[in-house]
Amino acid sequence: MSNGKPKVLVLGGGFGGTETATYLAASVGEAAEITVVSKEDDFLFRPNTIYIPFGLDVKKLMFPLAPALGKKGIHFSPGTAREVNPDSKTVTVEGYHGGFESLPYDYLVIATGAGMRPSDVPGMEQFAHNPWTPAEMSRLGEGFRGLVERGKAGERTTAVFLVPPNNKCSGPLYELVFMLDTWLRSQKARDWVTISWTTFEKTFIQAFGPKMHPYMVDDFARRGIDAHNEWVVERERGGLVYGRGEVIVGVGIPVTRNLQLRYRQRVPGLAHGYGSAGAPATPFERDVEAEYRLSRFFFVTTEVTQRRILSGSASQTVGAPDLNINLKARWEY
């Protein structure tokens, strides 16, 4: 305590840290000495970093911390907290240039935020994009632009969005997959890119409750995104994703500039139960789709789907195969 004022030390310059400090300053005024420690000079408006892959300049999302906090009577200490000593009530902070400083406190708030742990899924660090920082978002944008370039060259590609186990904030990834779909359409490249979505969640965007699931199913279907829930990734190897859930094999072939053929087959999951425990049943499904571009904006699609239920082994069929033929028209602008 200095000059009779308690010292409040806040670690973290993100939403949690700055809101705690500013609300406290508004509540107690000059009755406490408040200091914010942050390893960054600027506050990053992280929710809008999802726009970076589509061309947004990250500088538009950054605001200097020191002057903003100073207006509220809050001190700013740039550096990284390295050690907390509860006995002496001090925090060791490493400055930008390597020096160390010991900051005393009476009350300590730790709001350093979350981080990604892609190493939890072997192969994800090496072969997947892990969008969290602005730099990683920029690299993701390079990958998206690569999809467009390859599509314009007549090459079909696949983009797989994956929500791994223990993810606590999948909402931004749902936004990204829909934004990619919209952006590819604006670039006239959507037909060349297959978009797949897989998540460990029992229902899509599970954090918002089960009522969201049917709306998400409809939206995925409307956009032509191949989406799967309750699918748990185990490892990733440069383009091949292994997991427990449905296994889908697909291939797309551009026959001519205006005609696309696609074959997709869904086979039983590696460890995903269907039917009753006593007599496990698994679905087998395959479909052939032909899409013809009538004009720059108008498409006609013919899809033939076969589905049957397997029990015990692939040679034993329960019920007759179900065959569906669909004719669809799509207008794209």
Name the residue ranges covered by the structural domains of the chain: 7-110, 115-243, 245-333
Residue 46 phi/psi, 5-degree rounding, is -60, -35
| Domains 7-110 and 115-243 belong to one CATH topology | yes
Q: Give me the phi and psi of 295, to 5 degrees please.
A: -150, -170
> In the structure, what pLDDT confidence band is assigned to residue 235 with cuts at 50, 70 and 90?
low
The H or E element spanning position 324 is strand 313-331
pLDDT-based confidence at residue 4 (cuts at 50, 70, 90):
confident
* Residue 280: half-sphere exposure toward Cβ, Cα within 13 Å: 12
pLDDT in tens, 129-165: 888 889 999 999 999 999 999 999 889 899 989 888 8
| Residue labelled with tokens 């679905």 | 283
Of 237, 324, 241, the residue nearest 285 (C-alpha): 324
> Smallest Cα–Cα separation from 223: which of 269, 252, 184?
184
SS3 252: strand
Residues 259-272: pLDDT tens digits? Answer: 877 776 665 544 34
What is the homologous superfamily of the domain 115-243 according to CATH? FAD/NAD(P)-binding domain (3.50.50.60)
Mutual angle of helices 134-152 and 171-186, in 10-degree steps: 30
Q: Which CATH number fits domain 7-110: 3.50.50.60, 3.40.50.150, 3.90.1150.10, 3.30.1600.10?
A: 3.50.50.60
* pLDDT value for 330: 65
Residue 242: which pLDDT band, with cuts at 50, 70 and 90? very low
pLDDT tens digits for 86-114? 999 999 999 877 789 899 999 999 999 87
Predicted local confidence at residue 109, as pLDDT: 94
Lowest mean pLDDT among 77-86, 144-153, 299-308: 299-308
Which of 66-70, 161-165, 172-176, 184-188 has the least mean pLDDT? 161-165
Q: Is 206 helix (H, G, I), strand (E, B) or coil?
A: helix
Burial code of 134-172, b = ≥16 C-beta within 10 A, e = fewer? bebbebbbeebbebbeebeeeebbebbbbbbeebeebee
Contact 189, 154 (CB under 8 A): no
Side chain identity at residue 309, one-letter code: I
Closest CA to 260 of 183, 179, 189, 177: 189
